[in-house]
Amino acid sequence: QVYLVESGGGVVQPGTSLRLSCAASGFTLSNCGMNWVRQAPGKGLEWVAVMSHDGSRVDYVDSVKGRFTISKENSKNTLYLQMNSLRQEDTAVYYCAKMKYCHGFSEPVDFWGQGTLVTVSS
Amino acid sequence: DVVMTQSPDSLAVSLGERATINCKSSQSVLYSSNNRDYFGWYQQKPGQPPKLLISSASTRESGVPDRFSGSGSGTDFTLTISSLQAEDVAVYYCQQYLSTPWTFGQGTKVEIK
């Protein structure tokens, strides 16, 4: 059974940094492309970042390019999202999300974690 | 960026009746080389993460009840719930995953009338 457990969220001030983690189980992260998707309180879904299974392809939504970095540590089967220079508009629940076909890139998400809330406020 | 526009924003349907949600993309999400639509539908219930219902415009995911069906191609898509059940109350999102940034529709809230 696939499980994704996010952690690392919290309340931070604008301009600061935070690193989110997503511990995966039931599959091998090194074999699977992953995404981060966020949802501001009471709002819709916004895709944030993607990494291919082998790490050779990554991409970000324009609003986080240069500030956020997606990475993974295969030995820990864990996905990360390093978030720097945080802004109030980054306030959201952040979900890590597994690609349906692990070796693809343009794929829907078939498993989601429960999410971790990031609140950016002064 | 590909803009996804859903209609309506909300709808109330009686139990057992049909619910229809539309989604229109600003560009075609049909990849001609493989004739595949890079398009999906998700269901999100309160306090839960989204759940993939339909991929490739019309492929129902394993375990999804057959009252859910997807249709359409190119730029115009439809999600149909043939006989609404109480457990179908949720917000439904469409998504294109042909080109980054992957984009979602704004969501359609489905309620019981």
Question: CA of B54, closest CA in chain A: separation in Å?
Answer: 9
Model confidence at A49, pLDDT cuts 50, 70, 90, reads very high
| pLDDT score of B104 more than 90 | yes
pLDDT at residue B65, as a whole number: 98
Q: What is the largest CA-CA distance in chain B?
A: 43
Question: CA of B40, closest CA in chain A: separation in Å?
Answer: 7
Calpha distance A50→A120 (Å, rounded) = 23
Taking contacts as CB-CB distances below 8 angstroms, the residues of chain B near A5 are none
Residue B46 contacts A where some CB pair is shorter than 8 Å: no
Cα dist. A71→A34, A51, A59, A79 in Å? Answer: 10, 8, 11, 6
pLDDT at residue A104, as a whole number: 87
- The overall average pLDDT reported for chain B is 97
Of A50, A112, A115, the CB nearest to B100: A50
Cα dist. A17→A36, A60, B103 in Å? Answer: 17, 17, 26
Classify residue A30 by its DSSP letter: G
pLDDT at residue B52, as a whole number: 98
